[in-house]
Chain A
Amino acid sequence: MARSLLSTNKFIIIFSILWFAWAQIQFITMNYFGFGNTIAIVDSLVLNILLAFACLGIIYIMQFYLPQREKLWYIIAVSLITSVLVIILSQLILKRIFRNEAAYINFLEMAWVVKGSIVFLLAACTSLISLVYYSLEEQKETEQRKHDAEQLTKEAELFNLRQQLQPHFLFNSLNSISALAGNKPEEARKMIQQLSDFLRGTIRKDDTQFITLTDELNHLQLYLDIEKVRFGHRLKTEFKCDAAREHLKIPSLLLQPVVENAIKFGLYDTLDDVLIEIQATYENNILSITVKNPYDSAMHTKQKGTGFGLSSVQRRLYLLFARNDLLFTSANENIFTTTIKIPQ
């Protein structure tokens, strides 16, 4: 939420000075019309205190509700309502206080139009200023969020090159290639191709934030194919994707850490065959992607919640969609499920 205008010191000082000056002017004007000090002071105070409350009220409301369209009408309506209320209230109060001062009562009857117009103008000014202020704040915030999101994508790419595309993965893959080169040079060549395509995929995506689901799944497939060369005897994968892949968009490289996590848990938690299931469904404008892997709950008594890889995914989703409810994990005895929702 935007920083409240009311909480900035500068605003409070300016507002107080203006308010005091305005009350002073009204006091002098009343004096000029020949009313005594008491009447002038009370008249000025009653109207201006009401006015101050009205203005603060307008600013306060604006903090929580910012009109997106029909801004002009909103300002006019708000100012009109407040000025009418302020005038009616002040008239009632002043008439009650000075019910014996016939000259003043008479003056009040005539002055309300002038007073009302001035109050209206001041209320309009206030709402205009707060509208501009809050619009700017909101814009600043959106930009900050956008900037953070871009920054994080960049970091994600670097992270992919340095960490995610862990040295471990890279060197072990190279070792597999080295082993294949001896007896099965064709397969070695194929794996070099896969590894290159995969690396290219991680570098290429620096300017596009969103890619199609097809592209992201193809990239994952490449990664899984390489892992299968290393762990083919244990690793099985299953893609279930009934969604219209071409039209669905997904932040690039978002699934990579999730699947890496799944593979890591699957391969190093258990001794048996590892089945990684990736499922994509599309419903109510939400693309859901579920990744399932076997794991051993006994080996993770300490780590509750999301691991390191997943917390970066969560953060990225928050920066892109401003929502914290898009990633969740569940675990039963031996299957770990990660679900990501991507609003389209």
Chain B
Amino acid sequence: MIKVILIDDEPLARSIVKEYLLHYPEIEIIQECNDGFEGVKAITQYNPDLIFLDIQMPKINGFEMLELLENPPAIIFTTAFDEYALKAFEAHAVDYLLKPFNKERFDKAMQKCLPELTDRGGVAKENNSTSALLETISHTPPQSQRIVVKLNNKIKIIPFQEIQYIGAEGDYVMIYTAEGNYLKNKTMAFFENTLDPNQFVRTHRSYILNIQLVTRLEAYEKDSHVAILKTGARVPVSKSGYTKLKVVLGI
């Protein structure tokens, strides 16, 4: 059996997918979710093969939900209208259904993804395009003001201006905020390119700093400095980072 989860905040929109799926006896719908929070929980719990995912949903949207998953399953996006998303779908050849869609269009999408589902080798390929899609999407306006993280099964939305600083942690980054520290599977380069350069400066290979929190800069060893934040945290500043910091701070 192929396990499927439907994630959409409109019950009627789910019902139409359910209706079309009746013609696929090999498919079992194991859960329906009203939002991304339920989605993450159900996916972690049931580990489905395929999800139907709406994009505009309460609190966190479909893309932000995907970011929280370790190993996203195969995805068919369902959306009514989202110019940024459509561009990204086209760019990464991801399956999507534009609402309203008819049975023919639905079958086409299924025929494309069913072989890949039965042959598990295809899933890895799918994941690559998903992460590339997420990378593209996270630079578009609706996403570009906040980041969604998960800690101990609790989902937290962090507006960018609440970030104090970011430190590299292997393949991940650690986001430091007043309410706690959160690991996120994104790169330093991603944050350097996405965050407002007038507020966030990459002061070090492994650190990005919110300059509004800097109270003073101290010399530290030769050629390097350390920034002291209002919170008392000490963040390393490299030689080139110091030059950048001086420009943004206007000193």
B80 x A171 contact (CB < 8 A): yes
**One of B12, B58, B81, B98 near A229 (C-beta < 8 A):** B12
Contact with B along A167-179 (1 / 0, CB 8 A): 1100110111111
How far is A269 from B59 in the complex, measured between Cα atoms in Å?
5
Which residues from chain B contact A301 at a C-beta distance below 8 Å? 159, 161-162
Q: A182-B19, A269-B59 known; A171 and B159 CB under 8 Å?
A: no
How far is A297 from B13 in the complex, measured between Cα atoms in Å?
29
A271 x B59 contact (CB < 8 A): yes
B80 x A175 contact (CB < 8 A): yes
B15 x A179 contact (CB < 8 A): yes
CB nearest to A298 among chain B residues = B157
Which residues from chain B contact A180 at a C-beta distance below 8 Å? 12
How far is A271 from B58 in the complex, measured between Cα atoms in Å?
6
A176 x B10 contact (CB < 8 A): yes
**One of B16, B57, B59 near A179 (C-beta < 8 A):** B16
Quote the shortest CB–CB distance from A236 to chain B (angstroms): 16
**One of B57, B59, B99, B145 near A175 (C-beta < 8 A):** B99
How far is A286 from B59 in the complex, measured between Cα atoms in Å?
37
**One of A174, A271, A298 near B100 (C-beta < 8 A):** A174
B100 x A178 contact (CB < 8 A): yes
Quote the shortest CB–CB distance from B97 to chain A (angstroms): 10
Q: Does A299 reach chain B (CB closer than 8 Å)? A: yes
Which residues from chain A contact B56 at a C-beta distance below 8 Å? 168, 268
Quote the shortest CB–CB distance from B16 to chain A (angstroms): 4
Contact with A along B86-102 (1 / 0, CB 8 A): 00000000000011101
How far is A229 from B11 in the complex, measured between Cα atoms in Å?
10
B99 x A171 contact (CB < 8 A): yes
B59 x A182 contact (CB < 8 A): no
CB nearest to A264 among chain B residues = B56
Which residues from chain B contact A298 at a C-beta distance below 8 Å? 157
B99 x A174 contact (CB < 8 A): yes
Quote the shortest CB–CB distance from A160 to chain B (angstroms): 16
A182 x B161 contact (CB < 8 A): no
Size category of the B interface is 20 to 34
Q: Does A270 reach chain B (CB closer than 8 Å)? A: yes
Which residues from chain A contact B161 at a C-beta distance below 8 Å? 301-302
Which residues from chain B contact A177 at a C-beta distance below 8 Å? 100
How far is A180 from B162 in the complex, measured between Cα atoms in Å?
44
For chain B, residues 9 to 61, give those with C-beta under 8 angstroms from any C-beta of chain A.
9-13, 15-16, 19, 34-35, 37, 56-59
Q: How many residues of A contact B (CB 8 A)?
A: 28
Which residues from chain B contact A299 at a C-beta distance below 8 Å? 59, 157, 159
Which residues from chain A contact B82 at a C-beta distance below 8 Å? 168
**Most-contacted residue by chain B among A168, A231, A271 (CB, 10 A):** A271
Contact with A along B152-167 (1 / 0, CB 8 A): 0000010101100000
Contact with A along B73-113 (1 / 0, CB 8 A): 00000001110000000000000001110100000000000
B13 x A172 contact (CB < 8 A): yes
Q: A299-B157, A301-B162 known; A175 and B16 CB under 8 Å?
A: yes
How far is A268 from B57 in the complex, measured between Cα atoms in Å?
6
Which residues from chain A contact B159 at a C-beta distance below 8 Å? 299, 301-302
Quote the shortest CB–CB distance from B203 to chain A (angstroms): 24
Which residues from chain A contact B9 at a C-beta distance below 8 Å? 231, 267
CB nearest to A231 among chain B residues = B10
How far is A180 from B117 in the complex, measured between Cα atoms in Å?
30
B13 x A176 contact (CB < 8 A): yes
How far is A233 from B9 in the complex, measured between Cα atoms in Å?
10
Q: A301-B162, A302-B145 known; A167 and B80 CB under 8 Å?
A: yes
For chain A, residues 265 to 314, give those with C-beta under 8 angstroms from any C-beta of chain B.
267-271, 296, 298-299, 301-302
Which residues from chain B contact A145 at a C-beta distance below 8 Å? none
For chain A, residues 212 to 240, give those with C-beta under 8 angstroms from any C-beta of chain B.
229-231, 233
In the complex, 5 of the A-B residue pairs with CB atoms within 8 angstroms, ordered by the A residue number, are A168-B82, A171-B100, A175-B12, A175-B80, A176-B13
Q: Closest 10 A-B residue pairs measured CB to CB?
A: A171-B80, A175-B99, A179-B16, A178-B100, A175-B100, A167-B81, A179-B12, A176-B12, A172-B80, A174-B100
